[in-house]
Every structure is written in structure tokens, then in C-alpha cells.
Amino acid sequence: MAEEIENGNGGVAGEVSPGQLEPAANERFKWYIIHAYSGFERKVRESIESRVQAFGLQNKIGRVMIPTEPVTEIVNGKKRTVERVFLPGYVLVEMDLDNDLWHVIKNTPRVTGFLGTGDKPVALSEEEVSSILFRSETAKDKPRIKIKFAKNESVRITEGPFANFNGVIDEVNEDRETVKVMVTIFGRSTPVELEFGKVEKVEQ
């Protein structure tokens, strides 16, 4: 299960311009992906930052980021949006990697290694980093609804002209996050298309 990350340093809000990276503070910096235990991404980031300070390597490291995206959950009919890690087990680190820094990072608790072949870490291209971080930015515009609906499930409509009507799901469109609900209006069954966030499951 992905760990919830509170807003702030856990995400990339305010740190990345849509579609492009801010220039590196040091032209020698490159981005690397660190493997970590899934669910401990935030702990690993904190440990890396404190170890780098303890070893006096602050000039060798830039940003440490955990790519997150907002996910809207529906709990008891109420929506709430939380930041969730969308690449569990990975932390992005911007650094001027040398042998000393490699050992400091590799020996950080809950770090299992670098993304690469053998003991040779592979730096990401700017395009690759942008695509990961840009996903975080664009996802903020339209949080995903984390709720599963199935055909023939009973639901209650919570918003719109058919609010408080009950119906049965006839079709689920995961990509558009909509459901087609068969609602009985004046004795006649009528299909109504609604967004996930406008219906709630009815306890049987």
C-alpha cells in the first residue's frame, strides 16, 4: 500500500514548472533514482538529507524528491484528496555523484541500491525526469477517484437533478471515471451518465 505523503516537501508542488525542470543549482548535478523499501520513501529522503549533512557533502547534492499525485478517496460519501506516492519504492536524487557520495547513499537505512546495471548507477535524462515530475503537476489538476464500481451494483446519486435517486450501474468507464446508472423515473428505467464522484454505493 502506498504511503500517504503530506503536502510540502513530500510532493513537488511549487518546485517544478509544468513540463520543464528548474535549472540545476550545480551544472555537474544529474538525477538518479534510488531504490527504497516501498512505504518508506519519506523516511529515506529524510535519512539521505541528514546523512549528507553529517558527512559534509551538501555541495554534492541538490533536490531529493518523491513523485506524488493527488488521489481522491470517497469515505462515507465524503470526498477527500490525499497525496500518494505513484512510484512506490523510488526516490529521485539530484547530485554530483562520486565514490564517497555513492557509499553514503548506498548505506542509508532502507535503501536497497541505485537504478542501473550492477554497481553502476545510470543518470536520468532531463526528459525522463521531466516526464516523472510533470506527471505530478498535471495530476494535481484532476485527482484520480480511488473507488471501484461494478456493473449491477446499487448506487445513490448524490449531486445534480437526480440527487437522492437510487439506481443500478449498467456500465463503468474507468478511463473517463463515469458510470451509466439505470434510474427509474415515472415508472420508466432511464440511463443517466454520472461522474464517479456524484454517486455512492448503497449498502445492501
Instruction: State what percent of residues in the chain have pLDDT above 90.
Output: 32
CA 48 to chain centre: 21
Q: What pTM, to 2 d.p., does this model score? A: 0.57
The whole-angstrom separation of Cα 100 and Cα 5 is 30
All structural domains of the chain: 4-146 (3.30.70.940), 154-201 (2.30.30.30)
Q: Which residue has the higher pLDDT, 93 or 9?
A: 93
Residue-level pLDDT at 101: 92
| CA 125/CA 128 separation, integer angstroms | 5
pLDDT at 54 over 60: yes
Position 104 scores a pLDDT of: 94
**Predicted confidence (pLDDT) per residue in 90-126, tens digit:** 899 999 999 899 999 999 999 998 887 666 788 888 7
Nearest-angstrom CA–CA distance, 23 and 26: 8
In contact, 5 and 41? CB cutoff 8 Å: yes
Tell me the C-alpha to C-alpha distance, in Å, between residue 25 and each of 45, 85, 112, 136.
19, 25, 27, 21
Nearest one of 26, 31, 66 to 47, comparing CA atoms: 66
Question: pLDDT digit string (tens) for 143-157?
Answer: 666 678 889 999 998
